Amino acid sequence: MVTFVKKYAVIMFILCFSVTYAYTPDEFNRLLAKVPTHNLPHNNPNGCKTCHGGVAYMGGQEEELCYICHGPKIKSTERLKKAKLKTVEAADVRTDFEKPYRHPVGKTGLHKDKETYPVLDPATSRHAECLDCHDPHYSIPEIPLLAVSGVTIEGKFTNANYGEYEVCFKCHGADANKPYYAKNKVREFSPDNPSFHPVVTTGKNNYLPSLKKGMTHETIISCTSCHGSDTKGAKWVRGVHGSENEYILVLPYTKKEETLTPRYDLCYKCHREDSILGNQSFPYHRQHIEGVKARNWKGTSCSTCHNSHGSVKYPFLIEFNTDYVKNDEVTQKLEFKSEGVFRGSCYLRCHDVDHSPKTYGQ
Ligand code: HEC
Ligand code: HEC
Ligand code: HEC
Ligand code: HEC
Ligand code: HEC
Ligand code: HEC
Ligand code: HEC
């Protein structure tokens, strides 16, 4: 426990971001022995009766039950008064769940107690309820996801997760009922890939001029370093509940072309903007990101060249967004070749310009 807390505190200190936690079975058992938040009378004065009193439990609509404490203000309804249920002010997650980009907890009654993942039948209804990510019988302040089931990086179902990403992999992995555009995150974050953001394990590149102070190639980040609430200041609450930013991102990020004022704040949380736009690695970063007015070239998003999670094919997270990038008309190829430190070639067609190839750093 002590080492765990230390590790937690150190990462917290260095990053000041939300934290990844991957713990061993021993640490897990010690965490399980702690008194769960909702068993402490000052958090939950009614004990089991809060949720199992027959009156308040709204079977299938558990979020309404959670919101009596986890809302913007305590709701003391006639029903609660009649049931003599006391409420306590707790982290307001409801506000985030009312934002435009959010997990669809409002769809009710779809979660079942004994579900397993990944989902194999495409007809299975897709959902995400509080109870898919939290078990209020076990959760503790350090680990709000404690004792929830997950899917490992090997793609196997597990009754209890040993790290946040395992909970996310339940529904964002190989599941047959994902939306058509959604990619398999288990595959994107696989340590076997030539490159990936360091969520499951440390990254493969130890020479990144853009990384901000305090981060090295040994740094581990988490899904919630990038996905979560956009709220600033004292009202911010942890968790990938909802955000004003598309894809439930903590900071604005533009993926689509032809956006009037594109923003890449998310990437600049960890990578220095002056380094990227100063062309310290890829010598044509600035011209691609900002465009070149004199030639009437518009800028393009990081996502046109980089996959924000990982690349199954190339180093540097290179994966071209095929909405905009096509095979070049001379060689018919769509390919990236790294040819040494800050040197490489691209075969592709983008904005009617053939790269067949275009090289950099030579
Ligand atoms: C914060 C709300 C909350 C509190 C407090 C709470 N429960 Fe539950 N409990 C639930 C919900 C919601 C379910 C349904 C779980 C599901 O469908 O996955 C549940 C399910 C259960 C089950 C069925 C098996 C299971 O784990 O799914 C048992 C047994 C149970 N609770 C016992 C208790 C006991 C005993 C207490 C008091 C020590 C308690 N609960 C306190 C919300 C709560
Ligand atoms: C009677 C009030 C009450 C109800 C009802 C309630 N909670 Fe909580 N919950 C608390 C308090 C108090 C805390 C700790 C302080 C805070 O989060 O602000 C807490 C903390 C949490 C945390 C953070 C991790 C932790 O364990 O400290 C999670 C996750 C959570 N609750 C989930 C739920 C879910 C899911 C439900 C509905 C099934 C629910 N709660 C219902 C009072 C409540
Ligand atoms: C029980 C299933 C479930 C779990 C667990 C889950 N999600 Fe989701 N997630 C969904 C559903 C359903 C949506 C709505 C869009 C869809 O169907 O993919 C969604 C949407 C998202 C989106 C927005 C995607 C978009 O298309 O705009 C992000 C980002 C996301 N989830 C991240 C996470 C992260 C990070 C975790 C782990 C902390 C997680 N999810 C855990 C079911 C889940
Ligand atoms: C370094 C930041 C970063 C990290 C870490 C990250 N994401 Fe994302 N994610 C993004 C961005 C940016 C987008 C949207 C733009 C895009 O697709 O390029 C996105 C899109 C998504 C989407 C919607 C698109 C799709 O393919 O379904 C889901 C779901 C998602 N992420 C889940 C996760 C999960 C689960 C994790 C952890 C295992 C994770 N993300 C870690 C930045 C991140
Ligand atoms: C929470 C911090 C964080 C955020 C946000 C973030 N990154 Fe990273 N990124 C890292 C870390 C840490 C590494 C180092 C991984 C390594 O050493 O291989 C990295 C590595 C990279 C690499 C090089 C990977 C390799 O193997 O060569 C690229 C490219 C990259 N990030 C692009 C992006 C883009 C694009 C965004 C915005 C969508 C972004 N990053 C957002 C932390 C972050
Ligand atoms: C898709 C997964 C997912 C769903 C669905 C979800 N949560 Fe969370 N929640 C998280 C994650 C991830 C965290 C943060 C974990 C961390 O930072 O360590 C979190 C954190 C929390 C916290 C702690 C907030 C704080 O700052 O102390 C509370 C309380 C909470 N969730 C309640 C709820 C309630 C209530 C619901 C349903 C209305 C819900 N969550 C639905 C993933 C989810
Ligand atoms: C036109 C394609 C393209 C676009 C657009 C692009 N990049 Fe890159 N980026 C590359 C290439 C190619 C490399 C690899 C350079 C090398 O050979 O090391 C790279 C390398 C990187 C690296 C790793 C080296 C370093 O500088 O630390 C980071 C981080 C990165 N890019 C971030 C970004 C961000 C953030 C954006 C958007 C604001 C972006 N890139 C937009 C092509 C692109």
Paired strand residues for 355:
348
pLDDT at 12 (0 to 100): 39
Mean pLDDT of 173-193: 96
Q: Report the nearest-CA residue for atom 13 of ligand 3.
A: 103
Ligand 1 atom with the shortest distance to the CA of 46:
5
For residue 349, report the phi and psi dihedrals to the nearest 5 degrees: -130, 130
Which residues is 264 bridged to in the sheet?
none
Q: For position 54, what pLDDT does the model report?
A: 62
Task: Give me the mean pLDDT over the 112-137 stretch.
Answer: 92
Distance (Å, whole) CA 339 – CA 206: 17
Cα 153 → chain centroid? 15
The neighbouring-strand residues paired with 195 are 311
Residues 150-165 pLDDT 10s: 999 999 999 999 999 9
- The Cβ of residue 102 has, within 10 Å, a number of other Cβ atoms equal to 17
Would the pLDDT of 340 be above 80? yes
- Atom number, ligand 5, closest to the C-alpha of residue 204: 18
pLDDT at 18: 39
* Cα 281 to Cα 298: distance, rounded to the nearest angstrom: 21
Mean pLDDT of 311-336: 97
Choose the weakest-confidence range: 8-22, 120-134, 162-176, 284-298: 8-22
pLDDT of 46 above 50: yes
- Helix ranges, 16-121 (H): 25-32, 49-52, 62-67, 78-82, 94-97
- Per-residue pLDDT at 85: 84
Q: What is the DSSP string of 113-139?
A: TT--SS---TTSPP---HHHH--TTT-
Ligand located closest to 69 CA: 2
CA distance linking residue 8 with residue 167, whole number of Å: 19
Split at pLDDT 50, 70, 90, the class of 81 is: confident
CA of 53 to the centre of ligand 3 (A): 31
Tell me: pLDDT of 354 over 70.
yes
Which of 188, 198, 238, 240 minimizes the C-alpha distance to 219? 198
Rounded CA-CA distance 218/5 in Å is 19
Q: Which ligand is nearest to the CA of 273?
A: 7
Q: Determine the pLDDT at residue 115.
A: 87
CA of 34 to the centre of ligand 5 (A): 35
- Average pLDDT across the chain, whole number: 90
Per-residue pLDDT band for 296 (boundaries 50, 70, 90) equals confident
Answer yes or no: are the C-beta atoms of 40 and 46 closer than 8 Å.
no
Least Cα distance to 344 among 309, 320, 315, 321 occurs for: 315
Residue 142 CA to ligand 2 centre (angstroms): 13
**Is it the case that residue 58 has pLDDT exceeding 50?**
no
Q: Which atom of ligand 2 is nearest to the CA of 91?
A: 18
Instruction: Please tell me which residue, 108 or 312, carries the higher pLDDT value.
Output: 312
Structure tokens given for 320 = 């071209």
